[in-house]
Chain A
Amino acid sequence: MLTFTIRRLITSIPTLLFISIVIFGLLQLAPGDPMAQVPLTVPPEVKQKMREALGLGAPVHIQYLKWLNQFFIVEPQFLIDWMTRDSFLFGWLPDTQFSMVYDSELEKLVPQQRNISWQTRSPIMDIVIQRIPQTLWVVGLAYIVGILIALPIGIYSAYRHYSVFDQAGTFITMVGFSIPPFFTGPLLIVIFSVTLGWLPSIYDTTHVVNDWASFKYQLSQMILPVMVLALQTTAQISRYMRASMLDNLSQDYVRTARAKGLKEGVVVMVHVLRNSMIPVITVIALGVPSIFGGAIITENVFGVNGIGQLLITALFANDIPMVMTITFIFAIMIVVFNLVADVLYGVLDPRIRYD
């Protein structure tokens, strides 16, 4: 298993490189000049200097390698420095200075050049790290809620196959599967915040939780986006759960378990459930990155300023380094969770032997 994991980790490197080349190439091919906003009164030689400062004068492969260097070497160094300096968990460790380089002109340590957003002129990773908690809270919670609703629905509709519950459940999951989030979002806003006035329609990210009332407000503003995202998750996962349970319920070992006098609850919830969870868990792992991608729309509808909204604003502002970094982070998530799904499958199912 360990060799398999290591082998998969190594093969995922070319995959990530390919994806980064695709994204980089796409952004290189694209028209659009970061200097387009610079006033015409700026003399051309100054413009040329600005261009070089942005790294635009260099050949394409140098730009690509520089980007790779900054993403994979410089940024982790900054992260380690931050962790040993400020973080709660590792703050007791001695302060590392990986990210500092010696500047011979100033004769002291200065921070390395980082990947800079054209839009805000600040390091991209700092902005991304500021935005990730919002996305994680909303999307992560929605995913967990979705799974918790989906599993019982899937189990029960498979157990009572062709019953009214099964028919209704199948229909509702089909509907949840088909209605896009940009329709459910506004629909829920109209129902719950306009007509009934129960919940806020906009997610207030500046809200600070410090007492019971503010905690309740935080919960109430999270309900709508979580509902929209959870509907999609529930629809998908309960379908898988149902199909997988149905496969297992007709197996011989179920009859054996019943024949030796086990209680029905034990048969279904222990024997069948454990076996049917194997494919479902891999589906859950595979779904994590796609739910982040799908959250772009939901974040947009509810004004959650998470990573998806950051991507949209960066796109409209023609902020190519930011777009590149965020898209690549999504790609890394897909590759990592593919790996997690493969490894989990091998761990959970002893019949699977990769070596």
Chain B
Amino acid sequence: MTDTANEIDPYAALQDKEPAKPPRNQWLDVWDQFKKHKGAVFGGGFLVFITLAVLLGPYLWTVDAQKLDIRNKNVRPIWIAVWDGGAKTLWHRPFGTDNLGRDLLAQMIAGGRASMAVGWTAMLLSLSIGTGVGVAAGYFKRLDGLLMRLTDLFLSLPILPLLLVAVTLFRQPLRANFGPEGGMFILIVVVVGLTSWMQTARIVRGEILALKEREFILAARSIGTTSGAIIRRHLLPNVISPIMVSATLGLAVAIITESALSFLGVGFPSDFPTWGKMLADAVPRMEEYPERVLLPGIAISLTVLGVNYLGDGLRDALDPRIRGR
């Protein structure tokens, strides 16, 4: 005699209690993990804010950064008036002016534009060189030894001295050909890009070497996919996460390098503001006007800090072993 009421349905345990959900997008998981890292969210937010500010800033704050207003020179920022009523402040010059009466807010925006443009372009250049070298070395066995030797050699070059040498020596001809600002932009971007691709190349090569042996690549090859298509369709999408992480590092390095070059006086021409240049110009008079050092310095530091935090968060979010913890 069996009690049918108490009989356990053997299949009930295997049935889902709720209707099956559609599979979640991988990038939604990444986003969920990314949101948990507070520093990364702040960093990413600050990077977006700075990028928007330098892109849209000139339309909102229409003062010309180059316009000399010698009567209103050395105006202090507006917040100085809070504790020092006698300071020379003007409401239409919220960040104050420099020793030639140029508006500092407009200069900050213009300088940020230059710094971010150099940073993004140099990062993209170094990323494409690094990915190219890494993929070629990882995928084609014949090129591996040669390319990795080359990477090691580049890694043992003294980067900052070489950058200084290259920028000082090639300044004149490039300026003559592309104009003072264009020439300098090309020079700095190329020089920074050419000297910072090595880490990306190493990481990408390592990933490609491991991926190449997997079954889906074998499957792709067995149906006659060409090498180019395998790289484009199957390998590159799988190495996107280390590339993104090294992109953030590259952006930070590029911004700092450009500022350092400007600081040492080998960067952009003197009437073209960048953050590093503004900082360098303000150093001799920083006792009287500390804000002129602080504003660009804080802008550089916060941007780099934000980018570094973003990289940290991305590394955690893109690593499936950490995700979900």
* A, B bound: yes
**Is B304 in contact with A180, judged by CB distance below 8 angstroms?**
yes
With an 8 A cutoff between CB atoms, is B158 at the interface?
yes
A331 and B156 CA atoms in complex are apart in Å by 7
**Is B161 in contact with A183, judged by CB distance below 8 angstroms?**
no
Residues from chain A with Cβ under 8 Å of B170 in the complex: 30-31
**Is B168 in contact with A316, judged by CB distance below 8 angstroms?**
yes
**Is A15 in contact with B152, judged by CB distance below 8 angstroms?**
yes
With an 8 A cutoff between CB atoms, is B259 at the interface?
yes
One digit per residue, 1 when the CB lies within 8 angstroms of any chain A CB and 0 when it does not, for chain B 262-302 equals 01101000000000100110010011001001100100110
A312 and B163 CA atoms in complex are apart in Å by 12
With an 8 A cutoff between CB atoms, is B165 at the interface?
yes
Residues from chain B with Cβ under 8 Å of A187 in the complex: 293-294, 297
With an 8 A cutoff between CB atoms, is A19 at the interface?
yes
Shortest C-beta distance, A7 to chain B (Å), equals 15
Name the CB-closest residue of A to B257.
Answer: A180
One digit per residue, 1 when the CB lies within 8 angstroms of any chain B CB and 0 when it does not, for chain A 168-208 equals 00010011011110110011011000100000000000000
Q: Which of B211-265 contact A (CB under 8 A)?
A: 252, 256, 259-260, 263-264
Residues A178 and B259 in contact in the complex (CB < 8 Å), given A15-B156, A194-B286, A293-B158: no
Name the CB-closest residue of A to B161.
Answer: A327
With an 8 A cutoff between CB atoms, is B160 at the interface?
yes
Residues A182 and B156 in contact in the complex (CB < 8 Å), given A190-B293, A297-B263: no
With an 8 A cutoff between CB atoms, is A266 at the interface?
no
**Is B293 in contact with A22, judged by CB distance below 8 angstroms?**
no
**Is A296 in contact with B160, judged by CB distance below 8 angstroms?**
yes
With an 8 A cutoff between CB atoms, is B166 at the interface?
yes
Name the CB-closest residue of B to A337.
Answer: B156
With an 8 A cutoff between CB atoms, is B5 at the interface?
no
Residues A183 and B286 in contact in the complex (CB < 8 Å), given A19-B153, A190-B293, A293-B159: no
Interface size class of B (residues with CB under 8 A): 35 or more
With an 8 A cutoff between CB atoms, is B124 at the interface?
no
With an 8 A cutoff between CB atoms, is A146 at the interface?
no
With an 8 A cutoff between CB atoms, is A343 at the interface?
no
Name the CB-closest residue of B to A312.
Answer: B264
**Is A26 in contact with B156, judged by CB distance below 8 angstroms?**
no
One digit per residue, 1 when the CB lies within 8 angstroms of any chain A CB and 0 when it does not, for chain B 141-168 equals 0000000000011001111111011101
One digit per residue, 1 when the CB lies within 8 angstroms of any chain B CB and 0 when it does not, for chain A 31-64 equals 1100000000000000000000000000000000
A178 and B164 CA atoms in complex are apart in Å by 21
A40 and B166 CA atoms in complex are apart in Å by 29
With an 8 A cutoff between CB atoms, is A330 at the interface?
yes
Grouping DSSP codes into helix (H, G, I), strand (E, B) and loop, the A interface class, with mixed when no group exceeds half, is helix
Residues A300 and B264 in contact in the complex (CB < 8 Å), given A30-B170, A311-B164: yes
With an 8 A cutoff between CB atoms, is A338 at the interface?
yes
On chain A, the number of residues with a Cβ less than 8 Å from chain B's Cβ atoms is 45
Grouping DSSP codes into helix (H, G, I), strand (E, B) and loop, the B interface class, with mixed when no group exceeds half, is helix
**Is B283 in contact with A327, judged by CB distance below 8 angstroms?**
no
A45 and B288 CA atoms in complex are apart in Å by 55
With an 8 A cutoff between CB atoms, is A222 at the interface?
no
With an 8 A cutoff between CB atoms, is A123 at the interface?
no
Residues from chain B with Cβ under 8 Å of A296 in the complex: 160-161, 164, 264
Residues A31 and B173 in contact in the complex (CB < 8 Å), given A182-B279, A183-B279: yes
A18 and B155 CA atoms in complex are apart in Å by 12
Residues from chain A with Cβ under 8 Å of B256 in the complex: 180
A157 and B172 CA atoms in complex are apart in Å by 50
Residues from chain A with Cβ under 8 Å of B161 in the complex: 293, 296, 311, 326-327, 330
**Is B164 in contact with A315, judged by CB distance below 8 angstroms?**
yes
**Is B162 in contact with A327, judged by CB distance below 8 angstroms?**
yes
Name the CB-closest residue of A to B158.
Answer: A330
With an 8 A cutoff between CB atoms, is B34 at the interface?
no
With an 8 A cutoff between CB atoms, is A147 at the interface?
no
Name the one of A18, A289, A293 contacting B153, with C-beta atoms under 8 angstroms. Answer: A18
Residues from chain A with Cβ under 8 Å of B153 in the complex: 15, 18-19
Residues from chain B with Cβ under 8 Å of A22 in the complex: 157, 162
**Is A26 in contact with B166, judged by CB distance below 8 angstroms?**
yes
Residues from chain A with Cβ under 8 Å of B308 in the complex: 174, 177-178
Residues from chain B with Cβ under 8 Å of A194 in the complex: 286-287
Residues from chain A with Cβ under 8 Å of B152 in the complex: 15
Q: Which of A90-137 contact B (CB under 8 A)?
A: none
**Is B260 in contact with A297, judged by CB distance below 8 angstroms?**
yes
Name the one of B159, B162, B164, B169 contacting A30, with C-beta atoms under 8 angstroms. Answer: B169
A33 and B156 CA atoms in complex are apart in Å by 29
Residues from chain A with Cβ under 8 Å of B162 in the complex: 22-23, 26, 327
**Is B297 in contact with A294, judged by CB distance below 8 angstroms?**
no
A186 and B295 CA atoms in complex are apart in Å by 13
Could you tell me which B residues sit within 8 Å of A by CB distance?
39, 152-153, 156-162, 164-166, 168-170, 172-173, 252, 256, 259-260, 263-264, 266, 276, 279-280, 283, 286-287, 290, 293-294, 297, 300-301, 304-305, 308-309, 312
Q: List 14 A-B contacts (CB under 8 A).
A: A31-B172, A171-B39, A179-B305, A180-B260, A182-B259, A182-B279, A187-B293, A297-B263, A300-B264, A312-B264, A315-B165, A331-B156, A331-B157, A334-B158
Closest 8 CB pairs of A and B: A30-B169, A330-B158, A183-B297, A178-B305, A178-B304, A182-B263, A179-B301, A293-B160
